[in-house]
Amino acid sequence: MSDTNIKVGELVMFIDSKQRRYLVKLAHGDAFHLHTGIIEHDTVIGSEPGTIVRTSGGSRLLVVRPTLSDYILKMRRGAQIIYPKDLGPIVMLSDVGPGMRVLEAGLGSGALSLTLLRAIGPEGSLVTYEIRDDHAVRGTKNIAEFLGGAPPNHEVRIGDICDGVAQEDFDRIVLDLPDPWRALPVITPRLHPGGILVSYLPTVPQVSQTVEALRDHGYGLVESLEVLTRPWHVEGMSVRPEHRIVGHTGFLVSARRLSRDAN
């Protein structure tokens, strides 16, 4: 059996002929039940990713390892997630990279945390504030499920980020909060001068208030944008945009903390 083959305990994604996706954690002796029959986990364990298996009813299922994006779209949700189309640009806008110390709020379902953890790698560290116990539980479970355990470089702190952040410095701050302007007085002193803050915001009034507050707190290079993706249907002569697209998720605001002399 090759090392790249699927192992017991792994998460896999089954994709049926109608492109429906199912996330399953493989265990010896378990079975996955579909309306078209069952599939024994043991028939999947040891197989090559990208293979086709058949249910007891004879229907075909493609087996792959979920990408981070697949997992985020399928994982259980407490709070509304940030979608992969925004998560990618957040990594570029915040310029989060290997070894960085990053501050985040709130944890929610953990989609943004998983993305930041991947970007900082094992040498980096992530501190995430979450005000709600139930979201903290859901988010940490999701993160551990995808990574196969709780990552040692991720600290989740239960509480309101506006109540203060311990005396430590961060290279980057990434926020998914309804009212980030309330947090700026306590988080800004914790961000290195030149450090970048990115805030995800669903509505226009939140963008206005955040941008004004960022300028008042000594940030510069403040930019606001939204990310529109338009998937295409490509089949034979039928090559065109999909009929339905996601019209709106949120806006992204990025800014740099300037040194005192700059203000």
146 binds ligand SAH (CB under 6 A): no
Length of the chain: 263
Which of these segments, 19-27, 62-70, 156-164, 191-199, binds ligand SAH (CB under 6 A)?
156-164
Residue among 45, 81, 102, 103 that touches ligand SAH (CB under 6 A): 81
∠ Cα 115 121 123 (to 5°): 140
Q: Which residues in 224-263 contact ligand SAH (CB under 6 A)?
A: none
129 binds ligand SAH (CB under 6 A): yes
Q: Which residues contact 3 (CB under 8 A, 6 or more apart)?
A: none
103 binds ligand SAH (CB under 6 A): no
Residue among 15, 62, 68, 131 that touches ligand SAH (CB under 6 A): 131
Minimum gap (Å) between residue 79 Cβ and ligand SAH: 4
Q: How are beta strands 251-257 and 219-226 bridged, if at all?
A: antiparallel
Q: Which residues in 40-79 contact ligand SAH (CB under 6 A)?
A: 79
Cα separation, 186 vs 162, in Å, equals 6
Cα separation, 159 vs 186, in Å, equals 14
Assigned token pair, 39:
């599939």
Assigned token pair, 252:
């992204």
Q: Which residues in 169-208 contact ligand SAH (CB under 6 A)?
A: 176-178
Residue among 24, 45, 102, 111 that touches ligand SAH (CB under 6 A): 111
- Nearer to ligand SAH by Cβ, of 45 and 79: the residue is 79
Phi and psi angles of residue 119, each rounded to the nearest 5 degrees, phi first: -70, -35
- Nearer to ligand SAH by Cβ, of 164 and 194: the residue is 164
* DSSP-derived secondary structure for 41-63: HHHHTTSPTTEEEE-TTS-EEEE
Question: Which positions lie near ligand SAH, rule CB under 6 A?
Answer: 79-82, 105-106, 108-112, 129-132, 135, 160-162, 176-178
